[in-house]
Amino acid sequence: NQRPPHALVVGLVNPLVLVINPLFQKFLECLDVPTRASEMSFGFQCQQTGLVYAGNNLNGLFSQRRNLFSPVFIRFLLEIMRFSKQARQDLANHGIPRITLAEYLEERQYSPFMVNNYLLPMAAAIWSTPTLQAAEFPAQAFLSFFNNHGLLSFRDRPQWKTVVGGSFSYVKAFLRQFHGKLRLNAEIVKISRPGNGVRLTFSDGHHEEFDKVVIATHADQALRLLADPTAEEIRLLAPWQYQRNHTVLHTDSSLLPDRRNAWAAWNFTRAAAHDDKLPVFVTYDMNILQGLNTDRHYCVTLNRQNGFRPGSVIAEFDYQHPQYTFASLATQKELPGLNGQRNSWFCGSYFGYGFHEDAVRSAVAVGHDFGVQL
């Protein structure tokens, strides 16, 4: 369509491009797109128990001053430290069997208080998934991601960055330097691969012939587009399922934790009528993430349909995020093998952990096949 979904921008605010990894950073440098330091702090509020905290600093951690003297809360913090240390050791010793995150936590005898008030909410916020689904995340992959992104460490954490001016700034920069032909609002509904070429069917019914095709979509979308998928394409793409998340850009700061000193970059709320099977309820503080110095406080909230202050809603979107299971993760080592078969190439964030860096890495691999280097 007119612009990529994750590049939808209203004013200065970028809804979902939150942090940047090295390969994506290199891409931005090639485009001369500036970045700035950001943070990946996590905040939590439970409307059932009243517990509130944020991991950005001591003031946020003890935003409820009574927790300074709470044995339960102190044990909670010590248990988080034990989890981080144990997870690093298990990863170093290759001591994680083929079990889910929930099974791993049960085997290591972590308390439900720590699991339900820290680990699963953080996982649900990162992958935009229900907490019940987060518990079924394969433990090895989950802990590896946490370790690689500094989430198992309390010192020397990596410096996160974000795009100055929002994600559409790099889209515009790319378009300025792109010398090929770009066709907008040209929806493709079917990909056929007769003989040595590729036939694309558009939504208005007409067909066009091409030599090759790069399918840069979600895995489930790629499979639906293929008119004649091979057995291998079905085997490797079919296991991927996606979680729909309704996303609202707004200026209603009441969706953030009740205590101002508990506001963090990512804010998980457990509602009074919480259901672990329902989509996650998270509010991103865009002023923190994007370093905005504005009169209004911009937020992005997932999966809240109503209850916003009148006049505060700026825009609404729907996004799809990949769900990680043993079946879907098992395909990743073989996914690159689909590329080049029947004049087709595939790329997307599902080649990795579901983030921009993973999508860029898979796209760079496709580019290599065409003799293009980043």
Q: Given this model, what pLDDT does residue 74 score?
A: 98
Mean pLDDT of 114-135: 93
Q: How confident is the model at residue 289 (pLDDT cuts 50, 70, 90)?
A: confident
Closest CA to 122 of 146, 147, 100, 87: 146
Report the sign of the C-alpha dihedral through residues 364, 370, 371, 372, in that order: negative
What is the spatial distance between Cα 113 and Cα 127, in angstroms, rounded to a whole number?
Answer: 21
Q: Name the amino acid, one letter, at 98.
A: R
pLDDT at 1 over 80: no
User: Per residue in 161-209, pLDDT tens?
Assistant: 888 877 778 888 998 998 888 888 899 999 999 888 999 999 999 999 9
In a domain, residue 149? The reply is: yes
Q: Where are the alpha helices (DSSP H) in the chain?
A: 22-30, 58-61, 71-92, 101-107, 112-114, 120-127, 131-135, 139-148, 168-177, 219-225, 231-237, 286-290, 326-329, 356-369
In a domain, residue 367? The reply is: no
Q: Which two tokens stand for residue 183?
A: 């066709």
What is the spatial distance between Cα 96 and Cα 80, in angstroms, rounded to a whole number?
Answer: 18
Token look-up 């990863």 returns 91
pLDDT at 347 over 50: yes
Q: Is 322 left (phi over 0), alpha (psi -120 to 50) or beta?
A: beta
In a domain, residue 298? The reply is: yes
User: Per residue in 58-78, pLDDT tens?
Assistant: 999 999 999 999 999 999 999
In a domain, residue 131? The reply is: yes
Going from the C-alpha of 242 to that of each of 106, 124, 262, 363, the distances in angstroms are 27, 14, 31, 20
Token look-up 């981080």 returns 84
Indicate which CATH number applies to the domain containing 78. Answer: 3.90.660
Q: How far apart are the first and last CA of the chain?
A: 25
Q: Domain total for the chain?
A: 1
Q: Given this model, what pLDDT does residue 210 score?
A: 96
What is the spatial distance between Cα 233 and Cα 118, in angstroms, rounded to a whole number?
Answer: 38
Mean pLDDT of 287-308: 88
Hey, is 179 helix, strand or coil? coil
Of the CA atoms within 13 Å of residue 219, those in its CB half-sphere come to: 29
Q: Which two tokens stand for residue 214?
A: 């790069």
CB-CB contact of 312 with 251 (8 Å): yes
Q: Given this model, what pLDDT does residue 21 score?
A: 74
* Burial classification of residue 94, based on how many CB atoms lie within 10 Å of its CB (0-12 exposed, 13-18 middle, 19 or more buried): exposed
Token look-up 């950073």 returns 25
pTM: 0.88
Q: How confident is the model at residue 19 (pLDDT cuts 50, 70, 90)?
A: low
In a domain, residue 291? The reply is: yes
What is the spatial distance between Cα 292 and Cα 289, in angstroms, rounded to a whole number?
Answer: 8
Of residues 324 and 155, which shows the higher confidence score? Answer: 324
pLDDT at 9 over 60: no
In a domain, residue 110? The reply is: yes
pLDDT at 263 over 80: yes
pLDDT at 366 over 50: yes
Q: Which of 144-148, 186-190, 283-287, 352-356 has the highest mean pLDDT?
A: 186-190
Closest CA to 254 of 166, 313, 317, 316: 313
Q: Given this model, what pLDDT does residue 12 score?
A: 46
User: Per residue in 29-52, pLDDT tens?
Assistant: 899 988 888 888 899 999 999 999
Going from the C-alpha of 280 to that of each of 110, 121, 127, 129, the distances in angstroms are 22, 8, 9, 6
Q: Which two tokens stand for residue 27?
A: 């891409």
295 CB neighbour count, 10 Å cutoff: 5
* Burial classification of residue 101, based on how many CB atoms lie within 10 Å of its CB (0-12 exposed, 13-18 middle, 19 or more buried): buried
Token look-up 């997932």 returns 302
Q: How confident is the model at residue 154 (pLDDT cuts 50, 70, 90)?
A: confident
In a domain, residue 303? The reply is: yes
- Cα-only R_g, the chain: 22
Q: Which of 120-124, 142-146, 337-341 has the highest mean pLDDT?
A: 337-341
In a domain, residue 372? The reply is: no
Domain range for 277: 41-159+241-323
Overall size of the chain counted in residues: 374
- Quickly list DSSP for 28-70: HHHTT--EEE----EEEEETTT--EEESSSHHHHTSSGGGGG-
Q: How is residue 341 annotated by DSSP?
A: B
Q: How confident is the model at residue 20 (pLDDT cuts 50, 70, 90)?
A: low
State the chain's mean pLDDT as an integer: 89
CA–CA–CA angle 12, 15, 16 (5° rounding): 130
Q: How confident is the model at residue 16 (pLDDT cuts 50, 70, 90)?
A: very low
Mean pLDDT of 338-359: 94
